[in-house]
């Protein structure tokens, strides 16, 4: 039997040993939008459970699709793009110096 969607998201993202995968997931604009809404609801409800508990099935499915996409990304493809300029949930947008350039 398949694991519930919420558990799959947690397993793929939060339990990942690769921090860059977490950054790839949480820096996705749709994830930022959804998580912002979920955190506000979670706060309003007195921080009961976890923010994902307040997601609709549709939101969970969207988050799962992004999590599955992130598992297919190679670290070498993600890191250069990330350091160009990126928002990560819970931070403000800042311009970062590109550490290295991708060969074309």
pLDDT tens digit sequence for 54-85: 999 999 999 999 999 988 877 666 665 555 55
For residue 91, tell me if it sits in a domain.
no
| Strand residues in the chain grouped as ranges (E) | 85-86, 94-95
**Range 2-30 average pLDDT:** 89
Residue 60 makes CB contacts below 8 A (sequence gap 6+) with 5, 6, 9, 52
For residue 96, tell me if it sits in a domain.
no
For residue 61, tell me if it sits in a domain.
yes
Share of the chain above pLDDT 70, in %: 68
Spatial separation of the C-alpha atoms in residues 13 and 59, rounded to whole Å: 16
The domain containing residue 68 runs over which residues? 5-85
pTM of this structure: 0.72
For residue 37, tell me if it sits in a domain.
yes
For residue 21, tell me if it sits in a domain.
yes
For residue 43, tell me if it sits in a domain.
yes
How many structural domains comprise the chain? 1
For residue 90, tell me if it sits in a domain.
no
Tokens of 87: 């928002």
For residue 98, tell me if it sits in a domain.
no
Query: To 10 degrees, what angle do helices 57-71 and 29-44 make?
Result: 140
């Amino acid at each position: 039997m398949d694991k519930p969607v919420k558990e799959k998201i947690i397993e793929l993202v939060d339990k990942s040993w690769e921090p860059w995968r977490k950054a790839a997931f949480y820096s996705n604009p749709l994830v930022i939008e959804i998580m912002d809404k979920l955190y506000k609801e979670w706060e309003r409800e007195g921080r009961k459970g976890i923010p994902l508990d307040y997601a609709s099935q549709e939101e969970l499915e969207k988050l799962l699709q992004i999590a599955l996409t992130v598992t297919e990304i190679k670290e070498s493809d993600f890191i250069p793009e990330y350091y160009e300029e990126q928002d990560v949930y819970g931070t403000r947008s800042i311009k970062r110096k590109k550490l290295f350039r991708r060969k074309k």
